[in-house]
C-alpha cells in the first residue's frame, strides 16, 4: 500500500496542471508589454548532480597595458618612420603620427614628432626595448599603465547572455502573436533588446582589442632643442643658469625676510611698546616730576652802600 501511494504521488507530480497554459500565443485583443528582468529571468546553468547555478563561469583575467615614452633623438622624422615600420612588423598598426616644428630659446626651428602605435600585448617589452635603442640617452620620461577589466568584462558577458535569451523568447512570442497591436508591442520590446545587445557587443569588442593590442605613445625630441651651448669645453648656459638660480634664491630670501618683518616682527614690537614701554615711560615722567625741587623766587639784589 505504501509503495502504491508513492507511485500515485509521483504520477500526480509529473502530470500537467489543468490550469497551466501550454499555448504560448497571445489571445486576440489582449496587449502584451513584458518587463525585462521580471518576464525573462536568467536561466540557471546545469551542473553535475542535478543542481542549477546562476554563478558566471570563470573567465581569463583581462589586463590593458599602455606605455608612454619621451626620447631625445637626432632625427625625429626618421625615427618616427622607424617606429611605424616596427609596429607593422610586429603585427600592429599606427594609430596616429604627427611631425611639426618647434622654436628653441635661441630662435632656431627644430623638428619634433609624436607617434602612437599598437602592438600585440605579449610583444610590449620587446617594442619598448627597440624604441629606447633609437636614442643614445635614457628616456626623459617613461610610464606604463595597467588596468584590470576582468570584472567589467564578466558583467558585460552576463548581461549579453541574458539579453540574447530575452531576444529569443520575444521572437518566439512575436511569431505566435495574433493581432497587429500585439506584434507591434513585442516588436518594440525586441528592438530595444537588440539595441542593448549591439552596444554591449561593441564594448566587449573594444575591451578584447585593447587587451590584445597595447598602445605605445612616443614623443620624439630633437637633440638641437636640448643640447647646451659649449665653447671650448666651457658651457656659458650652465653658468648663466647657476647665476640666475642664485639671483632667484637671493630675491626669495629678501621677500621671505620682508614678509616675516611685516607680519611677525612689527606686530610683536608694537605689542611690546604698548604693554611695557609706554607704562614705564609714563611712570618715569611722574617720578621725575615729584623729585624735582621747587625753585625759590628771585631775591632783590642788596642796595649798594654809600661810602663817605
> pLDDT tens, 196-226?
999 999 999 999 999 999 999 999 999 887 7
Percent pLDDT > 70 in the chain is 70
DSSP 283: H
Q: Is the pLDDT of residue 116 over 70?
A: yes
For residue 25 the three cell numbers come to 500565443
Which position has the higher pLDDT, 53 or 135? 135
Nearest Cα to 33, choosing from 145, 188, 175? 188
Cα 160 to Cα 46, 195, 203, 209, 257: the distances in Å are 19, 11, 11, 18, 68
Q: Is the model's pLDDT at 141 over the cut of 60?
A: yes
Q: What's the sign of the alpha-carbon dihedral 260, 261, 267, 271?
A: positive
Q: Which of 10-24, 42-56, 254-268 has the highest mean pLDDT?
A: 254-268
| The pLDDT of residue 293 | 59
Q: Which among 79, 82, 60 is positioned nearest to 71, based on CA atoms? A: 79
Q: How far is CA 251 from the centre of its chain?
A: 38
User: In the structure grid, which three cell numbers stand for residue 181, read together?
Assistant: 497591436
Specify which of 13-17, 28-32, 226-230 reaches the highest per-range mean pLDDT.
Answer: 226-230
pLDDT digits (tens, 9 = 90+) for 61-112: 899 999 999 999 999 999 999 999 999 999 999 999 999 988 877 678 889 9
For the cut 80, the answer to whether the pLDDT of residue 261 exceeds it is yes
* pLDDT confidence bin for 154, thresholds 50/70/90: very high
Note the pLDDT tens digit of each residue in 227-251. 555 555 555 555 676 788 888 989 9
Annotate 167-223 with DSSP letters as a single string. Answer: HHHHHHHHHT--SHHHHHHHHHHHHHHHHHHHHHHHHHHHHHHHHHEEEEEEEEEEG
Amino acid at each position: 500500500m505504501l509503495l502504491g501511494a508513492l507511485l500515485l504521488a509521483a504520477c500526480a507530480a509529473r502530470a500537467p496542471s489543468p490550469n497551466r497554459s501550454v499555448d504560448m500565443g497571445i489571445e486576440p485583443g489582449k496587449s502584451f508589454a513584458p518587463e525585462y528582468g521580471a518576464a525573462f529571468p536568467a536561466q540557471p546553468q546545469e551542473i553535475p548532480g542535478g543542481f542549477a547555478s546562476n554563478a558566471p563561469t570563470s573567465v581569463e583575467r583581462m589586463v590593458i597595458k599602455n606605455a608612454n615614452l619621451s626620447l631625445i633623438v637626432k632625427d625625429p622624422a626618421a625615427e618616427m618612420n622607424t617606429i611605424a615600420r616596427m609596429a607593422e612588423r610586429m603585427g600592429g598598426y599606427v594609430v596616429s603620427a604627427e611631425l611639426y616644428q618647434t622654436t628653441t630659446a635661441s630662435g632656431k626651428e627644430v623638428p619634433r614628432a609624436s607617434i602612437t602605435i599598437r602592438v600585440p600585448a605579449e610583444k610590449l617589452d620587446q617594442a619598448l626595448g627597440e624604441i629606447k635603442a633609437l636614442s643614445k640617452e635614457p628616456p626623459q620620461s617613461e610610464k606604463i599603465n595597467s588596468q584590470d577589466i576582468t570584472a567589467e568584462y564578466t558583467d558585460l558577458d552576463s548581461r549579453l547572455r541574458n539579453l540574447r535569451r530575452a531576444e529569443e523568447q520575444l521572437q518566439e512570442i512575436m511569431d505566435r502573436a495574433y493581432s497587429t497591436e500585439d506584434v507591434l508591442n513585442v516588436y518594440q520590446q525586441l528592438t530595444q533588446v537588440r539595441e542593448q545587445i549591439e552596444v554591449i557587443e561593441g564594448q566587449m569588442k573594444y575591451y578584447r582589442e585593447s587587451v590584445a593590442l597595447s598602445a605605445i605613445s612616443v614623443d620624439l625630441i630633437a637633440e638641437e632643442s636640448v643640447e647646451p651651448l659649449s665653447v671650448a669645453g666651457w658651457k656659458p648656459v650652465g653658468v648663466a643658469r647657476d647665476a640666475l638660480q642664485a639671483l632667484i634664491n637671493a630675491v626669495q630670501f629678501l621677500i621671505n625676510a620682508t614678509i616675516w618683518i611685516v607680519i611677525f616682527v612689527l606686530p610683536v614690537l608694537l605689542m611690546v611698546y604698548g604693554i611695557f614701554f609706554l607704562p614705564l615711560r609714563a611712570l618715569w615722567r611722574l617720578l621725575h616730576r615729584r623729585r624735582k625741587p621747587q625753585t625759590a623766587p628771585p631775591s632783590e639784589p642788596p642796595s649798594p652802600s654809600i661810602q663817605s
